[in-house]
Amino acid sequence: MADTAGRFGPYGGQYVPEALVPALAELVDAHERYVLHNEDGFRDELREHLRTFAGRPTPLQRADALSERYGRDIYLKREDLVHGGAHKLNNALGQVLLATYMGKDRVIAETGAGQHGTATAMAAAHLDVPCEIYMGRVDVNRQRPNVYRMRMSGAEVTPVDAGSATLKEAINETMRDWAGSVETTHYAVGSVVGPHPFPALVRDFQAVIGEEIRTQIRDEAARLPDDVVACAGGGSNTMGTFAAFVEDERPADADSEGDATADVALHAVEAGGSDLGIDEESGVAPNSASLSTGTEGVLHGALTKLLQTEDGQVVESHSISAGLDYAGVGPELAELVDRDRVTPATVDDDATLTAFHRLSRLEGIIPALESSHALAYLEETCGPDADATDEDGDVSDRNDDASGRGGDVSDRGGDASGETGDADLGDLVVVTVSGRGDKDLETVLEETDRRDIETAPDVEVFDG
């Protein structure tokens, strides 16, 4: 949890222009009154919108084919079935509704892949609040269907041409708008990033994911899971999934027979891209692995782990998944990794594409490329070819451990060829499918055509 200054250990805080300090103070007060203490029945009204408009609760589904493949029970949290096709609507509904309780008559937001922009536009239309979305020109052009969906919901979409014309510049432009319109406008941040109280506010709106998993897995299996796995970019899906389990950590000196505290391991899977390094000269990182390889710095109003050069210049990140393509990560997630409560891992683009096709074929579910990173992690840690070499050069077999949890998968560092961190998956695993993959089909077609992906379908039916 954050302290009163919005710090998670050394991370978080408020690194903002003076003009935004009163607006953040007002938001801290609104978070405390409406979100945490349900003043004026805010949480009751939000719960009703989540039920009737967003379609919650979403199912927790046993994945029979994956369970057979991996020799353990695999459950999928189906956030792809939220109205709009992704978990983003949980937070968007909360923030737009909060804006109305605060007396704001306009909502602005930034978006990269378009999912948060679409969710905010839909929530604003549902609650009849004017909405403007800032989006980098590059993202506008590669996410045309989502831009059209925002416009269909009545939102104004403003392209941003500065810099690389992607998410980072869109956030900068949204901040500039907010600095000049704070009295009438609420900035609906899309992830657990930014200055205090946004990381806690967004986490609290997304926490419904983990709260539902906790109830549903007890109904299904009569116990908590051994492991919870989620993809990580900025971290909204990750913290939404993990928040309900952070306290389920068995003390190191606990008696394994007598201690009633459940031990739920948490795994955050990042985009390893094509390489985990940074090209200092070009200022580009062919990955989005801030938790695994980032260093401390300030980005968009908060101290966190981010991808930067040795001189402190924030670099351009990369992911085959536009939704994970961000050079930073939420400060709470950075702190949880520092104290070993969350295990970070990376998988590369090839493994992600393979996982995308595998889930589609085995389970009939087309996952978002973001979610495919978490699914690839399963294959890396407990699939048929998951034997790995530990730091001493020994090959370990994760399926031989009689305790029901596997052996070690060591952090192999260096390139992006399936970095799985210190994985040790147990008998009962929950993976959050953060969104559906329809939006990614154009990218998947293009990227699959460049590779030899065993799990991909034949497309010889196309003429060219």
Contact 380, 420 (CB under 8 A): yes
For residue 119, give both structure tokens: 């969710």
Contact 308, 315 (CB under 8 A): yes
User: Quick one: 404 exposed, middle or buried, by C-beta within 10 A (0-12, 13-18, 19+)?
Assistant: exposed
The CA-based angle 384-389-395, given to 5 degrees, is 70
The CA-based angle 133-138-316, given to 5 degrees, is 100
For residue 230, give both structure tokens: 């989620």
| Catalytic annotation, pick one of 77, 79, 104, 110 | 110
| Whether residue 110 lies in the annotated active site | yes
Contact 237, 79 (CB under 8 A): yes
| Whether residue 168 lies in the annotated active site | no
Residue with token string 């549902």 = 126
Residue 295's SS3 state is strand
32-65 b/e with 16+ CB inside 10 Å = b? eebbeeeeeebbeebeebbeebbebbbebbebee
What phi and psi, each to the nearest 5 degrees, are found at residue 79?
-70, -15
| Whether residue 454 lies in the annotated active site | no
Q: What sign results for the dihedral spanned by CA atoms 449, 455, 459, 460?
A: positive
Task: Determine if the peptide bond prior to 57 is cis (ω within 30°).
Answer: yes
| Catalytic annotation, pick one of 153, 319, 321, 434 | 434
The CA-based angle 397-402-407, given to 5 degrees, is 30
C-alpha 373/C-alpha 348 separation (Å) is: 8
C-alpha 318/C-alpha 284 separation (Å) is: 8
For the beta carbon of residue 71, count every other beta carbon within 10 angstroms.
14
Q: Catalytic residue numbers?
A: 88, 110, 434
